[in-house]
Amino acid sequence: MPELPEVETIVQGLKEKIAGQRISRVTLNLPKIVRSDLKEFLSSLPGQVIERVWRRGKFIIIDLSRDHSLIVHLGMTGQLTYVSSAAPLLKYTHLTLQLENNDLHQLRYRALRQFGYIRLVDSGQLKGVESLAKLGPEPFELTLEQFIHLIGAHRGRIKPLLLDQGVIAGIGNIYADEILYRAQIHPRRPADSLTPLHLKKIYHAMREVLVAAIEKRGSSVQDYVTSDGEAGEYQRLHQVYHRQGQPCFRCGALIAREKLGGRSTHYCPRCQRYIVYTMKGARI
């Protein structure tokens, strides 16, 4: 699933190109991706001007001129691209918005697996939309002190906690693995066992990894592409994600992979050692 760096890359690419453009025509090939009244969706969009494109967590928000907003969720395989109207229509393109700049360009939503969706809402009701209202703070909005208090207040294991969108918005499986590797913290460590120094390392690793991934336009591991339809580059810099069985760049130990909370988790067993203390002593 596209995570914060991928969604932010798409938003940055789109807002430079589609803000100020008018939607002239809507073509919907898969009605079930629309999670709002279908008739209103199809009748309201033509004629509206795109005023702003922004991100909240893993959601793309497109504000329109008639106090409407589109909420776009890419699901597992979704793509949102700005392309020439003459470009071939790829299979699994579910929605096309024709833009009124001499009808030269379109905004296309495409997804192989149909887990994503698009929803039209009144802009004034955005904060009340459940999928947005339940999101935690953005990673870049948190101070170190706020992060330490936020994570330290939980007892769950640190990786599932980073993945919990109600705790922090935008981090997914790829970047949770990369963040914890950089911080040298085992993904199974309980949050309440982490010292302020541990949490400081995670905080700075989180910011550094996300910034670097945005600079490289995200990770194209499977279906993700930028708004231009191009692949990202950060997957070339992954330290642990999808590198199971390969040597750690830091110490040479083989990267391990296991299931944690139903998700594949990648880590270095040497750099991210987890010591469990028992009545009989310590074991690793």
160 — phi, psi (to 5°)?
-55, -30
- For 76, 95, 196, 262, 277, the CA distances from 118, given in Å and listed in that order, are 14, 9, 40, 27, 48
Q: Are 51 and 58 in contact (CB under 8 A)?
A: no
Dist. CA 247–CA 238, nearest whole Å: 12
Decide if 3 is catalytic: yes
The helix/strand/coil state of 257 is strand
To the question of whether residue 66 is assigned a binding role by annotation, the answer is no
Decide if 263 is catalytic: yes
Catalytic residue among 3, 6, 8, 178: 3
Q: Which residues partner with 260 through β-bridges?
A: 263
Name the token pair of 103. 């009808």
Decide if 134 is catalytic: no
**Number of residues in the chain:** 284
Catalytic residue among 55, 58, 157, 201: 58
Binding site per annotation, positions for DNA = 113
Report, as residue numbers or ranges, the catalytic residues: 2-3, 58, 263
